Structure 1
């Protein structure tokens, strides 16, 4: 019998269009291994919401493998050391894995090659993005830094590679290495169990991802306008499935590529944005931690670590108690469901960095902990875009007006869902309730005009 083949699983938790599983299944008995390496990512170790999704996604993939008389070997610890030890234990001939571009995973891949030596090979495959980062370049051969020309170049070479089918057979080894029990990892909250809203809002796993895509094929035509309407929520909600690799962007693209609607064209560019974000962190590994543009951070930002009142402002934003209904609805949706509607996600982020003048990194970290689709590249690139500090970003002076945005995009029912203390207000006043009708709902932390003037003054002072 051929030597065992290890599949190193990370954010690629699917059977179909999974190049590492496909290659391993052709080469010999397959041992899928997932290593929970909490230390390597530092301040970007999985947040609470991500752990909830990870638990359910691993459980679903384990059931799928179980139906084939296979399983996932679960281990905790330093990923390269654990994988090298398992490879030595089972006499593996090769470890197969899909490439990841977070800096800690790129470092781990290099360390694993060294740890394996000549005894076992490491083979890396592309599969989590439309194209490998760095493969689409400018005329001079340099990687793109700006989204629009990157997107145009990507569209010129689409569609992506063909989808790889699920292996027809997966052989198991004669004996399995020991595995942790998923429940013993305590990824799910218990005291208290705050994840009920996440469980109610989502279905997890590969099958759920494809069910969502099937639904989306009939809805995508309305996406161009519908994506801005939180009360209707005409969005795919595929982002966590894509992030965790329960479905691949190639599968999504091929399913929708024959659509001719403006909605599909807009959605296609958002799939390309995922690739763009990976290209950015491939060039600038610390991008979600460090501003790209030069400015005086001490002048621009109010630091929550430097004053009790500023810390309170950050906490009011986190809890959805700013006095701006559309912002508070978004922040409460985030806490309850692990997700925010895309238009509202931008409004909430803009409010933090421009109305409250709080450093975008505090927002990045909160979203990282609370989002089920928290992605190192996407999250960092989006925050630097909204804060005006990124390599390609919105101008800082463009300050979103949450009250007019709420009315323009008809967010009344969305507000009623997530800010129930305002549920009895009519559409005319729910976006900006008069003081007499707010009841226990808080007053605005700061007026929009005052916030705008303060932000522009701080921005002018921060410029070199």
Structure 2
């Protein structure tokens, strides 16, 4: 250990345990902890819900660092300008950060590493976000993989991930220069939370951002939620998923930690979940890994079709339909419940995400990028890899995509996965008194049934904005036209 100060740059790794960049910095000597709210147009800005989460997560991280003797310095601006200035002014000899995988973030990190190294500053980066780096899992020919099942099989063949690093207990704080201290902001001064209007009440009621909140969520899931996960995870009417996604998105907990905690609980008999439940749960961590693999090798995943033949697809882009979808007023209760859950809590059950996305893309023939952008703004777990990869999967334009003719029917999906309508009743209270027989298709209910339930279609709940059969036929016709054009191009 030296007395030359070192600096750890927090980004999407807002935790003190299993944080290799932090551990490396603490080994060097007195340490500065830094977070920069990146407002450069070169990087995609966070959506509103994610900004709310970030505010709470930074506050939790700052308190945790202070409890261990350190201090989190918070800045706003372009890291390309701010970080080198802080390193110079504070006499930093060593800088560490954990890697990100979007092209713009990679470019930033490469430029910073080159500049700092040229100035004589040691720089190291680490993997804190993934079980495997995106370049470590390949086909036998050494190429990127495009299908999940063989990807996950190859990833598993690499063996169990390394054990998580222990939590930091003491931080030997370096004293920042006075000018840096004056320039630093409080978390509140970042202005990340909404105020006029304050739409985050449902988020506050639903979540506890921060490392402690992540561990509580995982412990509760392993204690009771893992049991039956394999069979129940598609049921939005039940608390059968981990809801760890926003904690993972901001790095309040890492996949290595989740992996080993799940395995240990299973082996020690501290969970009622079966080995099959655990395998299914870990495969969902695998899907996240696969999404980052795709993003790394396809940097424009959120803006360009992975399958270029979809560039010629004839989108309708119905603005009124898009607006109804966003507001949860499509007339299809499962879709509307999902969109209202999203607006209220910043999260949506994964099965319902697929149904809602399919409805927008296929029944309304709206470009998947419109949906990806809305989810980016409204999800607390809006993830640059998962969000884009999943939208393209539903659209049929992505890697390992569902066949385009697989068009989710929101009525049959609701009847299968929310059979009593409990999920719909929670988020679409206008229908709360409707007979379960009609809860997923209220337009088929006799007038007497509607009146008894206090439902006036077209007044307090909309009639369907598109006929499902018509929407399906139109989508399949558009695909057929796309295939015909492709055949003409290739003879």
Provide the TM-score with structure 1 as the length reference.
0.96
1:138 aligned partner:
139
Deviation at 1:257, TM superposition (A): 1.8
Aligned length: 457
Q: Distance in 2 between matches of 1:459 and 1:201?
A: 40
Q: CA deviation at 1:143?
A: 2.3
1:364-375 mapped onto 2 (5 Å cutoff): 364-375=372-383
- Alpha carbons 1:9, 1:33 under 8 Å: kept: yes
1:267 matched residue in structure 2: 281
Q: What is the aligned partner in structure 1 of residue 270 from structure 2?
A: none
Q: Tell me which residue corresponds to 1:443.
A: 463
Deviation string 1:221-250 (CA, Å, 9 cap, x unpaired) is 311111111111300000000110000100
Q: Distance in 2 between matches of 1:111 and 1:13?
A: 23
Deviations 1:379-398 (A, max 9, x none): 11000100000122111111
Question: Shift of residue 299 of structure 1?
Answer: 4.5
Name the SS of the counterpart of 2:74 in structure 1. strand
1:132 Cα deviation (Å)?
Answer: 1.2
1:422-463 Cα shifts (integer Å, max 9, x gaps):
011121111111364241200001111111111100111122
Q: Distance in 1 between matches of 2:151 and 2:288?
A: 12
Equivalent position of 2:69 in the other structure: 69
Q: How far did residue 168 of structure 1 move?
A: 3.6
CA offsets 1:182-240 (integer angstroms, 9 cap, x no match) = 11111000000000000101111001101111111122131111111111130000000
Conservation of the 8 A alpha-carbon contact between 1:40 and 1:104? no
More displaced, 258-267 or 346-355?
A: 258-267
Instruction: Give the CA deviation at 1:78.
Output: 1.0
- Which residue pairs with 2:307 in the alignment? 293
- State whether residues 233 and 341 of structure 1, in contact with CA within 8 Å, keep that contact through their aligned partners in structure 2: no
* Deviation of the 1:69 alpha carbon: 2.2
CA distance in 1, matches of 2:414, 2:235: 9
Residue 326 of structure 1: how far off its partner (Å): 0.2
Q: Report Cα offsets for 1:80-127 as digits up to 9, x if no partner.
A: 211100000100011100011011110110121233223312210111
Q: Which residue of 2 aligns with 1:277?
A: 291
Bigger drift between 105-114 and 15-24 goes to: 105-114
2:234 alignment partner in structure 1: 228
Q: Secondary structure at the match of 2:96?
A: strand
- Where does 1:3-14 land on structure 2 (aligned, <5 Å)? 3-14=4-15
Matched, 1:159 2:179: no
For residues 38 and 225 of structure 1, what CA distance do their matches in structure 2 show? 43
**Partner SS for 1:70:** coil
Match of 1:344 in 2: 352
Pick which of 197-206 and 253-262 moved more: 253-262
Q: What is the CA–CA distance in structure 2 between the aligned matches of 1:75 and 1:238, rounded to whole Å?
A: 27
Equivalent of 1:407 in 410, 415, 425: 415
C-alpha distance in structure 2 between counterparts of 1:341 and 1:125, whole Å: 32
Displacement of 1:365? 0.3
Deviations 1:11-60 (A, max 9, x none): 00000000011110111111111111122455x31000000000000000
CA–CA separation in structure 2 for the residues paired with 1:301 and 1:328 = 22
Asked if residue 94 in structure 1 is aligned to residue 94 in structure 2, the reply is: yes
CA contact (8 A) 2:69 2:170 kept: no
Q: Per-residue CA shift, 1:294-318, capped at 9, x if unaligned?
A: 3364542113xxxxxx211100000
Q: Is the 8 A contact 1:38 1:46 kept in 2?
A: no
Report the RMSD for the aligned CA atoms in angstroms: 1.4
Task: Return the alpha-carbon distance in structure 1 between the equivalents of residues 416 and 442 of structure 2.
Answer: 16
The structure 1 residue matched to 2:254, chosen from 240, 244, 248, is: 248
Cα offset for 1:399? 0.5
The two structures have a TM-score, normalised by structure 2, of 0.91
SS in 2 for 1:114: helix
Distance between the aligned counterparts of 1:185 and 1:174, measured in 2? 23
- Cα displacement (A) at 1:324: 0.2
Unaligned runs of 5+ in 2: 267-273, 487-491
